[in-house]
Amino acid sequence: MLLRRSRLAAQAAERPFLAPLWLILLLGGIVVIGLIFIYPQRDLVRRVSESPDSQLSSAYLSNLLRSDPNNPQLRLLLARQQLNQGETALARTTLQPALISSDPNTHRNALWLLWQLSEIEYNRLPAQPEAPREALKAELRARLLELSAQTWPEETRLQLANKAFELGERELGLQLYKRIAEETSDRAKAARLYEKAAREGLAFSNYRATAELYILARQATNEPRLARQYFHAALRALQSGNLLAAALDLGERELGNLADDEETLLLLTQIARAAGRPDIADRYVRRLLKIALMRQWQSIQIARAWGDGSFQKVASKANPGEPGIPFDDKIYTLGYEVFLENRKLEDAWQVAAAAVRQVPDDMRWRERLAQVSEWTTRPEIALENWLTVAKRTQADLAWQAVLRLAPGLFNDPALIAALHYQLSKQPGNPALLKELIATYERNGDPQSALNYLHRHSGPNGTPETLELMAELADRAGQPETAIKAWLRLFQTESQITAPRAVKAAVLLMLQGRGEEALHWLTQAQNQAGHESEADLEFWRLTGQLALWQQNDPQAILAFTQLIDSGKAEISDFDRLVQLLTDTHPSEAARVAAHAWARFDQPQHLIHALNLYIVRNQWAEMGALLKQLDSSPQASHHALAPLRRNPEFLRLAGTYHQNMGNLAQARLDFEAGLMLAPDLAAMQQALLWLFIDSNDAVSLRRVLASREQVWRTDSAMHDALASAYQALSLPQVALARYLTPRISGHQNDFLWLMNYADALDQNQQADRAWRLRRHLLSRQWQEAARTSLPGKGRPTLHEVRQRLLTEPELDQVRRIARTRLLLTQHPGDVGLDALRELLRLDRDAEKNYSNAAAEMTIGWLQDAGEYNAERGFLFHQYARSQSKRANRPLWAEITVALAEDDKSATGQLLDTFGESLPRYDRINAARAVNDLRLVQSAAFETQNDQTDDAPLHMQLSDSLLEFSDHAGAGYTQRKLGGLDEQLLTTHWHAAVDPKLSLDFAFGQIARKDRDTAVIQNAPDERFSSLKANWRHGDGATTLLAENRHSLASYTPLQIEHEQRIDNRLSLNFSLGTQLPSQETTILRIAGMKDRTSLGLRYQPTRMDQITLEHWRENYKLQTGTDLGKGNHSSITVGHMLRQEARDLELSAFWSTHRFSNRANAQNIRENDPAINALTPPNLPAPDNIDLPNDYFIPDNFSFYGIRLATDLRYETQYTRAIRPFGAISATRHSSLGTGYDLRLGIAGSIFGADHLSLSWGLGKSGLQSGGLSRELQLNYRIHY
């Protein structure tokens, strides 16, 4: 590679020289020498150091230092300028050679600059984080210690001392100050240095060092004033730092020549008190008191020396040890307080007493003397000084002290003065007024108290003032004045309190003004309580005064309040029971029970039980009986003594009877009869037990054994008559006990009502109706005659209201009147009366009485509301917990029969057979299919009821129902293209009331009227045997037949109905080769196997829902299988009327699904018998087939509604001729709308037979699409 050459090709020329080299060097040297002389280096350094810090001066110094690096002065100047310019890093670098210099001055100055540099860096660091600042601060402290070891001028050392305080090196700072002060020969200057150091220490809260420096300053100065000032400053420095113990110790140690200085001692006393050293404060204050006394003594001596001073006795009763000369208030006050703090009360009292003797008009010292006198148990002196302070200053504190001390010292004048002051602040204060009155009365001057009350009560006196005035006047023997004060007080209703009313009432009673006294007691009742004895006396006084004034309601209220307080006496209970028995028996029973619980007196318990029985309050009665203690050792509420009381046994038995505990009731009654065999009430109770408990067996037994004895007592006749009525033998009751006594009870309304009931029970309804009509007319006239004058003739509604709400009308009579209105006015009048009765007839548990409930049940039965009756029975008697003590048996059996509740009917029949009403017993036996019992009951009862036609009718019907019978029937049907005539004969064999056999023989003659449907229809013959078995919860039927139509076949079937409960039953059936009627061909030539399951639910007695599903397999009688069918149906029915001439409305729906496996052409070809029945004149089989639904119909639905009446009488025996019928509107999903009409009559012709004739017409029915007609005639005879 070639070297690079210049582009210029010019030839180099020789340069000319202006001067030779030596000349140039000479001239340069001369210039340098001149400059050295003109600008010397030291002067330059001085100028740079004196010039302001700038970049230029720093540059000069840098250049100079480079020219002379060993010059320490330049280096220090440059470092100082860099430090001032904030270039700490450059300054630190510049200083490094100087720091290691061997020259002491250079090294010392370098250290000082390094200290300043580090301080600047420390101040520049942020507060966070702390670690770098702490490290630099530690470095500064190390530098400071190093600097303090050097020798510095005084100014620098002072600066170092200040820096030491700033960095927390307080000890070092103090040492520096001390060192400076020690090295100073001028004591005044040294003292100022110590003072300055102390101030610096105080600024940094170095209280101990500050105090020490002030002490050094005190020691350094020669001026006593400054020395005392420095000593006080030292003490206050420690005091400001809360170093009170240290301050006190310093004062004790450094007191010196200030031991008698008053200001110093005051300061030390304050510090000692603040430090919690009252003992030291006590010492100093005693010295202060001594100084004060000496100063005062000296003043007196000086005055005497000049002829102006003399001793004056300021207290005539001064003690030798007490000060008796003028005093310094400040020191005395401090001494008093210090002595109190040291609990030297006696010394404090000496000081205060001396002060009061010397300045008796100073109320502050009198107050202090009064206080310390109380503390030192000098109450007389305390009261004297408090009273003086109170009168001079009217200070509330002083008056309160007088009020506190005067009563105990019995200083009534002082107390009266204090009370007057207090009442001026609190006018009308009751407590103060009472105290003032009591004080005046102790002084025997009640009139002054009365005058004061008169002056201060005025026209608007407070209630308390008036009350005090009344009481004071009463005690002062001025009753009229007292009564006037009371009446003036009672003008404000709210001020009528119970204690005031009692006091006023006693005054009025003493003045013979009892009615007015009761008035004020009554007015105060709302304010009376029950806690104090005064309240009890108020109520007792009110009750007694009300009794004297014959004010029973007020007396009842007063004694009730007494008893409610829990502090009443037995006489209070007796009076209240006596007052309440007639008007408020329930409350009287409660009070009597309370009295028995408290005083355990048998008469109270028996009285309460009697009243509870009258009110049918069995729960309360049971609660009382449960409190009896059956233990033989019982001493409280013991049962054993009461068991020997016949009246108690009768009451207890009555309770157990109503609670359903019949066995215990019987034991109680029998025990009572053993104690009092001739007690009619006990005999009647036993009879009523058997009657109410429906215990017919026991009732018959007791009648058989005791009737001959009891019937001699006329008081027993009503009970014996009721017994025979309970046995459903009203004819005996009428003949023996009622009819012979009717003349003696012509005006006895209730007895005649019972007589009417017996007539009604004995089927003498006309006589009963006439009697009740007569009684109603009489009651109506009596009610109308009681109309108010001036009101005119009362309306029907007013008379009815008066009949039921007449005052003093007992519940039994009210119920009897309501029954009259119901029976004689069965419409709105009777219903309104029943409502009014039920409104008024509520017991303590909000239930109706048994009589009212039974009358309501009877009305519901008459109205046919059996569901409502069952609900009412449950509501009324649910609390009896299935105990039948008072439940109306006739109502339960009626509901069970009306709702066809076989389970309830059978249970009632088994439990209360002979106690049931005779007709209901027979009907119940019939309902449970116990025909033998039906016949026995009807036959046995007619022995006593000889004229009972319905009973004889029931007997006849029961004999016919359970009997064999035979009959025949004829039926003609026209079913579209087919006519049928059915002739049957049957025989019913009653093997047992629960088992019967039915034999039937018959023949069906058929005639085809439309050969397009069927031809050559064969006749049919059959014979059948059916067994019917009834059991307790259902029925089972077995059927076996032999039939011959197209061929012979044997139908067999079993049906069973299982009753699950009163409303729900399940039925199923299983049959084989049964007749089939789904199509015409099946009717004459088919059969089927059938399985079914059904459910019947009866939510109410008037409603019924039936669900059923069945499956069928269809065959020809020749054995050919045709197909299957699945069927479901639902029927909902409602009885519009259930009694004879019943009326039922029902809706039905069914669905039918078929599986057709029949091939009509194959059947015709393979079955000649069927081929002979099919329509004739058909073309060749290969051309036209039979319809698909010829053998098995297509799927369809069928629904409609039906209205029917008395259909049961078509088969059920009835003595009367009764029509029956049904009409339906239907809809067939394939055939369209249709209808069904059925009419007939049924009845008995000769008495022991049954005939029914019916006719029917239908279209688009379930099995036939055309018009169908039917005529039936059936007849049977019983034997």
Residue range 412-450, pLDDT digits in tens: 888 888 888 888 888 878 888 888 888 888 888 888 888
Looking at per-residue pLDDT, the higher value among 619 and 243 belongs to: 619
Strand partners, 1001: 985, 1023
In the prediction, which pLDDT does 1132 show?
A: 96
Of 706, 638, 631, 718, which is closest to residue 673 (Cα–Cα)? Answer: 706
CA atoms in the 13 A half-sphere facing the CB of 564: 12
In the prediction, which pLDDT does 158 show?
A: 60
Provide the residue ranges of all domains of the chain, joining segments of one domain with +.
31-125+133-150, 152-254, 259-303+317-351, 746-837
Report the Cα 133 to chain-centroid distance in Å.
69
In the prediction, which pLDDT does 102 show?
A: 66
In the prediction, which pLDDT does 547 show?
A: 84
Instruction: Report the pLDDT averaged over residues 683-706.
Output: 82
CATH architecture assigned to 31-125+133-150? Alpha Horseshoe (1.25)
In the prediction, which pLDDT does 894 show?
A: 67
In tens, the pLDDT along 196-236 reads: 767 766 766 667 777 777 777 776 677 777 777 777 777 77
In the prediction, which pLDDT does 1115 show?
A: 93
| Six-digit token string for 17 | 């020289």
What is the DSSP track for 1129-1165? Answer: EEEEEEEEE-SSS-EEEEEEEEEEEEEE---HHHHHH
Res 815 pLDDT > 70: no
> Residue holding tokens 């009869």?
673
In tens, the pLDDT along 954-969 reads: 555 555 566 788 999 9
How buried is residue 892: exposed, middle or buried, by Cβ count under 10 Å (0-12/13-18/19+)?
A: buried
Question: For the chain, what is the mean pLDDT?
Answer: 76
Contact status, residue 211 vs residue 185, Cβ threshold 8 Å: no
Sequence-separated (6 or more) residues with CB below 8 Å from residue 682: 646, 649, 650, 669, 672, 673, 676
Domains 31-125+133-150 and 152-254 in one fold: yes
Instruction: Report the pLDDT averaged over residues 317-325.
Output: 43
Instruction: Report the pLDDT averaged over residues 305-332.
Output: 51
> Residue holding tokens 């088992």?
995
> Residue holding tokens 């439309």?
1010
Res 168 pLDDT > 90: no
| CA gap 723, 617 in Å, rounded | 25
Specify whether the backbone of 323 is left (phi greater than 0), alpha (psi in -120 to 50) or beta: beta
Instruction: Report the pLDDT averaged over residues 69-92.
Output: 69
| CA gap 226, 208 in Å, rounded | 20
Q: Please, which pLDDT band fits residue 397 given cuts at 50, 70 and 90?
A: confident
How many separate helices (H) and strands (E) can be counted in the chain? Answer: 54, 17
| CA gap 494, 524 in Å, rounded | 9
Looking at per-residue pLDDT, the higher value among 1117 and 924 belongs to: 1117
**Single-letter amino acid, residue 402:** V
| CA gap 671, 919 in Å, rounded | 36
Instruction: Report the pLDDT averaged over residues 52-67.
Output: 63
In the prediction, which pLDDT does 1054 show?
A: 96
| CA gap 723, 688 in Å, rounded | 8
Res 1060 pLDDT > 50: yes
What 3-state class would DSSP assign to 310?
A: coil
In the prediction, which pLDDT does 49 show?
A: 54
In the prediction, which pLDDT does 314 show?
A: 39
Percent of the chain with pLDDT over 90: 13
Rounded to a whole number of angstroms, the CA Rg of the chain reads: 67
CATH architecture assigned to 152-254? Alpha Horseshoe (1.25)
Instruction: State the pairing for strand pair 978-992/1086-1097.
Output: unpaired
Instruction: Give the angle subtended at the CA of 1085 by the CAs of 1084 and 1086, to the nearest 5°.
Output: 110
In the prediction, which pLDDT does 310 show?
A: 45
Instruction: Report the pLDDT averaged over residues 831-838.
Output: 47
In the prediction, which pLDDT does 828 show?
A: 47
In tens, the pLDDT along 638-662 reads: 888 888 888 899 889 988 888 878 8
Most confident of 168-172, 330-334, 720-724, 803-807: 720-724
Res 410 pLDDT > 80: yes
Distances (CA, A) of 746 to 110, 717, 766: 150, 16, 19
In the prediction, which pLDDT does 973 show?
A: 92
Specify whether the backbone of 599 is left (phi greater than 0), alpha (psi in -120 to 50) or beta: alpha
| Six-digit token string for 366 | 């009198």
Instruction: Report the pLDDT averaged over residues 359-383.
Output: 87
Ranking 193-197, 236-240, 478-482 by mean pLDDT, the lowest is 193-197
Strand partners, 1131: 1106, 1148
Q: Please, which pLDDT band fits residue 803 given cuts at 50, 70 and 90?
A: very low
In the prediction, which pLDDT does 148 show?
A: 63
Strand partners, 862: none
Of 1021, 1019, 1017, 1020, which is closest to residue 977 (Cα–Cα)? Answer: 1017
Res 1160 pLDDT > 90: no
In tens, the pLDDT along 1188-1239 reads: 778 888 899 999 999 999 998 898 888 788 899 999 999 999 888 999 999 9
End-to-end CA distance of the chain: 164
What is the DSSP track for 546-603? Answer: HHHTT-HHHHHHHHHHHHHTT---HHHHHHHHHHHTTT-HHHHHHHHHHHHHHH--HH
Sequence-separated (6 or more) residues with CB below 8 Å from residue 777: none
| CA gap 1104, 1211 in Å, rounded | 21
What 3-state class would DSSP assign to 1077?
A: coil
| CA gap 420, 429 in Å, rounded | 11
Ranking 840-844, 985-989, 1072-1076 by mean pLDDT, the lowest is 840-844
Res 1176 pLDDT > 80: no
Q: Please, which pLDDT band fits residue 560 given cuts at 50, 70 and 90?
A: confident
In 3-state terms the chain splits into helix, strand, coil percentages (rounded to 5) of 60, 15, 25
> Residue holding tokens 């049904």?
1222
Looking at per-residue pLDDT, the higher value among 1152 and 789 belongs to: 1152
In the prediction, which pLDDT does 477 show?
A: 78
Looking at per-residue pLDDT, the higher value among 277 and 755 belongs to: 755
In the prediction, which pLDDT does 1056 show?
A: 94
Element (H, E) at 900: none
In the prediction, which pLDDT does 1027 show?
A: 94
Sign of the four-CA dihedral 799, 804, 810, 816? positive
| Six-digit token string for 1019 | 């006749």
| Six-digit token string for 1116 | 């020809």
> Residue holding tokens 């007939």?
1240
Instruction: Report the pLDDT averaged over residues 1162-1169.
Output: 81
Instruction: Give the angle subtended at the CA of 1144 by the CAs of 1141 and 1148, to the nearest 5°.
Output: 155
| Six-digit token string for 608 | 């309460």
Ranking 36-45, 211-220, 372-381 by mean pLDDT, the lowest is 36-45
Res 1150 pLDDT > 90: yes
In the prediction, which pLDDT does 885 show?
A: 45
Res 795 pLDDT > 60: no
Element (H, E) at 862: helix 850-862
In the prediction, which pLDDT does 1097 show?
A: 93
